[in-house]
Amino acid sequence: MALEKGTIVATALRLLDDVGLDGLTLRRLAAELGVQAPALYWHFKNKQQLLDAMAAELMSGHKSRPRLTEPGKWREWVADYAHTDRAMLNSYRDGARLVAGTRPSPELFAAVERVVAGLESAGFTAGDAMRGLSTVAGYVAGFVLEEQADRTRTDPEHAMPDMEEFQAAYPRLMAGMAEVGDPQGDRAFEGGLQLILDGMELRLNAQATLEAGADQVSQAEGETAR
């Protein structure tokens, strides 16, 4: 039976879960498929092309993301995008590292086009829509990178500090941690995401005020011309 590209990618992703990104080699993948390593080069010129295809498959859920049909609910729509993105990156071991080191697929560009168009319908400029999306995507990627790195740490646990001494030395840090919770937890993720969305909303309101002012000036100039 001929070796198919989809089979190679699916097997590589399964192997990624077992050995991690550092342990994923073409030789190991070929052995898993029961072929010699050169057979893989019929489908991928090098390992980077394979990694690109793996990342595209991992992130393929974005291709079917719904369009923004209610512009007034853009915050919920972007938040859902972020939650989905985090889930996809966490669906495989080292998923964040894999995607960070690869080029976006053409299908992903189409998904980004739909997101930007959706945010424009809510009143954002194309530039602010891109800035907002890039900021959210970067936040999710960095958060998941920390999540996954924390899970795979192999060094022995350090002894917990004396909490009374720690509180006395770093009272503001402790106050912040009490509010944020586990730095890699859902509560922390949601808090950071809402902070970004608050910033996007401020920019959106500023843009609306600017446009309203421009309309008033245009109207006044038109009345003067009469």
Which domains are delineated in the chain? 1-58 (1.10.10.60), 60-153+169-212 (1.10.357.10)
pLDDT, average across residues 17-46: 94
For residue 55 the two structure tokens come to 């990342």
pLDDT, average across residues 204-225: 72
Residues 218, 224: Cα–Cα separation, whole Å: 10
* Per-residue model confidence (pLDDT) at position 139: 97
User: Are 201 and 132 a contacting pair, CB within 8 Å?
Assistant: no
Whole-number mean pLDDT of the chain?
89
User: Are 59 and 110 a contacting pair, CB within 8 Å?
Assistant: no
User: Are 143 and 189 a contacting pair, CB within 8 Å?
Assistant: yes
* Per-residue model confidence (pLDDT) at position 123: 95
Residues 85, 79: Cα–Cα separation, whole Å: 10
Q: Which residue has the higher pLDDT, 226 or 179?
A: 179
pTM of the model: 0.84
* Per-residue model confidence (pLDDT) at position 156: 57
What would the pLDDT profile of 73-130 be if each residue is shown by its tens digit? 999 999 999 999 999 999 999 999 999 988 878 888 888 999 999 999 999 999 999 9
Sign of the CA dihedral with 113 first, then 116, 119, and 123 last: negative
Which distant-in-sequence residues (6+ apart) come within 8 Å of 21 by Cβ?
Answer: 93, 94, 97, 98
